[in-house]
Amino acid sequence: MAQQHLEPTDATAGAATADALAGYLRAQATEFLRALRQHRENGGAAAGGSEASVDAARALRRSARRISASLHTFRPLLDPDWSERIRPELAWLSGTLALEHAYEARLERLLLALHRLSGAMLPVQSGGAAAASRAAGAAPAGAASGNPGTPTPDRGNLTVGAAKAGALLDRQLTLARTRAHSTALQALGSSRFHAVADNIAVLASEVPLSQTAATTPLLPLAAAAEDRLNDAVTALPLVTAGHPYNAEALVHGLSPDPSPHPQDAPWHQVRLLLRLHRYAREVLHNAEIVDVRLLAAGEALDRHRDASEAAAAAAQAARTPRIAPATAYALGVLHADQRHEVEAARFAFQRAWQKETVSTP
């Protein structure tokens, strides 16, 4: 397996000390405060929110993730009480803010898949479906080739099944998204959030370092994060994943557990470790590093996670009481389709990971 290691000869990275970490954390904290201000100014309170407010929420999550990751990877350099207290709060915040977008993206993914599978436009008219219709214009030919308009009854019950499945998913995931939006609003107005924002405001000016920070080099800590990633990747079934059409992702596709497959967990874990590794490199180089290989691997794991959760949502929707058999059938096809997306994403990760490192700093 191709191993990628931090360049020990890179002077910038090798010499990185507490100053570099403090600089990075201050920059991320500043970014967090900027995004927070932007979010408030752009009507973050409106349901769905404006595009600017969505961007601001994404920027908030983005810096929260980076701060949290840096506190984790470079723990020995930071005031332990402070960093142990702030990290779960940042996780709570980015988790809460991520949910609304996750439900929206999941619905869009599932409706696009239904379009592709039924070769027809769905008669669903809500925001999610409209977004899917927009996206379908840029999708492969199969997704956009169907006739627009509602399916007529003579097109058979399975097409109607796909439409009903789409409507059901739209209802369920829109409800979940609306709830997530309310929860996020409540969170942003809570005293718990204000405490987080206060902490970040402090961080923007003064990073609470530990007493040994000045003499603790960053490189070994970043290397340890990379080792954890490599170890986790080594434990993945990459030989199977590299063999196309191994049918592994759909094994137990009809097992009674509707929650995400246990076989997905190690891949989700690698996704998180890959992110920690990426952020650690940013700290060392004091810049965003574009590494095509890591980028492709990360995108494959994002796709893996999205497809895994979409498949679970389809399975969950199929358990709705009193749905028509045609609806359930369409959800079954959709579930299997997304599980194959999971398999395809593993294949893509394996391919990306095996490639040689090509870095452009």
Long-range contacts of 34-41 (CB under 8 A, 24+ apart): 34/59, 35/59, 35/60, 35/62, 35/63, 36/60, 36/197, 39/188
| 241 binding its own copies? (CB under 8 A) | no
Closest distance to its own copies from the beta carbon of 321 (Å): 9
Which value, in Å, is the radius of gyration of the alpha carbons in the chain? Answer: 23
Task: Tell me which stretch binds its own copies (CB under 8 A): 53-61, 83-91, 152-160, 267-275.
Answer: 152-160
| 139 binding its own copies? (CB under 8 A) | no
Nearest 5°: CA angle at 250, between 247 and 255? 140
Looking at the Cβ atoms of 278 and 304, the one nearer to its own copies is 304
Binding map of its own copies across residues 328-347, x = CB under 8 A, - = no contact = xxxxxxxxxx--xx-xx--x
| 308 binding its own copies? (CB under 8 A) | no
Can you tell me which of 8, 137, 148, 244 binds its own copies, judged by CB under 8 A? 244
| 114 binding its own copies? (CB under 8 A) | yes
| 12 binding its own copies? (CB under 8 A) | no
Looking at the Cβ atoms of 196 and 342, the one nearer to its own copies is 342
| 310 binding its own copies? (CB under 8 A) | no
Measured CA to CA in angstroms, residue 130 lies from 57, 123, 125, 160, 178 at distances of 22, 10, 6, 18, 17
Binding residues with its own copies: total (CB under 8 A): 50
| 155 binding its own copies? (CB under 8 A) | yes
Looking at the Cβ atoms of 203 and 328, the one nearer to its own copies is 328
Closest distance to its own copies from the beta carbon of 263 (Å): 10
68 close to 208: Cβ distance less than 8 angstroms: no
Which residues lie across from 360 on neighbouring strands? 290
Closest distance to its own copies from the beta carbon of 115 (Å): 10
Give residues 249-278 in contact with its own copies (rule: CB under 8 A). Answer: 250-258
Structure tokens at 284: 């060392």
| 120 binding its own copies? (CB under 8 A) | yes
47: Cβ contacts below 8 Å, ≥ 6 apart: 178, 181
Task: Tell me which stretch binds its own copies (CB under 8 A): 15-23, 268-276, 292-300, 315-323.
Answer: 315-323
Long-range contacts of 96-100 (CB under 8 A, 24+ apart): 96/183, 96/184, 96/187, 97/57, 97/60, 97/61, 97/64, 97/184, 97/187, 98/61, 99/180, 99/183, 99/184, 100/57, 100/177, 100/180, 100/181, 100/184
The residues binding its own copies (CB under 8 A) are 114, 116-120, 142, 155-159, 161-162, 244-245, 247-248, 250-258, 315, 318-319, 323-337, 340-341, 343-344, 347
